[in-house]
Amino acid sequence: MEALWIGGEWRAARDGGLREIHCPADGSLVATVSEAGPDDTADAIAAAREAFDAGPWPATVEAERAALLGRVAELIERDAADYARAESLDTGKRLVESEYDMADIANCLRYYAGIGGTEAGRVVETGRADAISRIVHEPVGVCALITPWNYPLLQTAWKVAPCLLAGNTFVLKPSELTPSTAILLMKTLAEAGLPSGVANLVLGAGPVAGPPLSEDPRVDLVSFTGGVASGSAIASVAARTVKRVALELGGKNPNVVFADADFETAVDFALTAVFLHSGQVCSAGARLVVEESLHDQFVAELVERARAIRLGGPFDEAAQAGPLISAAHRDKVEAYVKQALADGAVLRCGGERPADPGLVDGFYYRPTILDRCTSAMACVHEESFGPVLTVETFTTEDEAVSIANDTDYGLAGGVFTGNAGRAQRVAGRMRHGTVWINDFHPYVPQAEWGGMKRSGNGRELGLQGLDEYRETKHIWHNIDPKPQYWFPR
Q: Return residues touching ligand NAD (CB under 6 A).
A: 146-151, 155, 173-176, 205-207, 210-211, 213-214, 225-227, 230, 233-234, 248-251, 282, 383, 385, 411, 451, 456
Q: Which residues contact 484 (CB under 8 A, 6 or more apart)?
A: none
In the complex with ligand NAD, which residue's Cβ is closer, 55 or 204? 204
Comparing CB distances to ligand NAD, the nearer of 175 and 390 is 175
Bridge-based pairing of strands 346-349 and 368-371 is antiparallel
Q: Which is nearer to ligand NAD, 55 or 174 (CB)?
A: 174
CB of 484 to ligand NAD, least distance (A): 50
- Residue 175 or 188 having the CB closest to ligand NAD: 175
Regarding beta strands 131-139 and 470-478, do their DSSP bridges make them parallel or antiparallel, or are they unpaired?
A: antiparallel
Rounded to a whole number of angstroms, the minimum distance from the CB of residue 205 to ligand NAD is: 6
Task: State the catalytic residues.
Answer: 248, 282
In angstroms, give the least distance from the CB of 249 to ligand NAD: 5
Name the minimum Å distance from CB 232 to ligand NAD: 10
Q: What is the closest distance, in whole angstroms, from the C-beta atom of residue 38 to ligand NAD in the complex?
A: 10
CB of 460 to ligand NAD, least distance (A): 7
Output 58 or 226, the one with its CB closest to ligand NAD: 226
Instruction: State phi, psi for 449 to the nearest 5 degrees.
Output: -125, 130
Identity of the residue, 37 or 227, whose beta carbon is nearer to ligand NAD in the bound complex? 227
